[in-house]
Every structure is written in structure tokens, then in C-alpha cells.
Amino acid sequence: MSKPNDLVQGTLDLLILKMLAFEPMNGWAVGQRLKQLSSEVLQVSDGSLYPALHKLEQEGWVTSEWRRSENNRRAKFYSLTRAGRRQLQVESGNWERLAAAISALVRLQEA
């Protein structure tokens, strides 16, 4: 249940890093933003979001601090670290190569 079975393995990390690259945000907002930006195509289950965030934090790719949210509630805001930015580049590159390869395969004309 914890695995993002609706997403390619490891892709969730990439998506979260990408979201946080725009601005620091709290966990809930990350989930909301993902849904909005992907026009609800990517259904990230709430259950897999927090384990992923905490794992990224332990890896040192994101860091967190407590801040006031828009509705003035204390919330844990995550932001990207320098190492995280590098990791984002690495993972984006990987993803693009993978996506290009798969696209090329899918477009192959059947004889």
C-alpha cells in the first residue's frame, strides 16, 4: 500500500523534488499541487506522500522548517537543499532518457 503502485517506481521522488523546486511547501500542498498540475492524471495517494517526504529528508535532499500556512496554522514546510537540486537534475535526466526510449519503442511501426 505504501508503494506508489500508480506511478513508475521512484518517480514520486522526482515529482516531489520538482514541486519543491518552485517554492517551499507543506506536505498537503505538495499533494494538491501534483494533482492540479497533472490535471488529476497522476493520482498520488496521500498514504505514500509522507513516507517519501521523510525519506528525502533523511537523504538530505530536502530540509524542513515549521512556518505559518496561508490560513495561519503551524505547518511543516519542505524546501530543496543544494544536494536536492543536484539530485533533481540527475533524476530529471534519467527520466527524460527513459521516457524518450519508451516513446521511441511505442511509436515503432508494426510491420
Q: Which residue ranges make up the site for other proteins (CB under 8 A)?
A: 1-2, 26-28, 32, 45-47, 50-52, 54-55, 57-60, 66, 69, 73-76, 83
- Shortest gap between Cβ of 79 and other proteins (angstroms)? 15
Using alpha carbons, select from 88, 77, 102 the residue that is nearest to residue 14. Answer: 88
Measured from the CB of residue 54, what is the shortest distance to other proteins in angstroms? 5
Q: Which is nearer to other proteins, 6 or 96 (CB)?
A: 6
Q: Which is nearer to other proteins, 1 or 104 (CB)?
A: 1
Alpha carbon 5 to chain centroid, angstroms: 14
Residue count (the chain): 111
Measured distance CA(67)–CA(92) in Å, rounded: 29
CB of 48 to other proteins, least distance (A): 8
Distance CA 49, CA 71 (A): 22
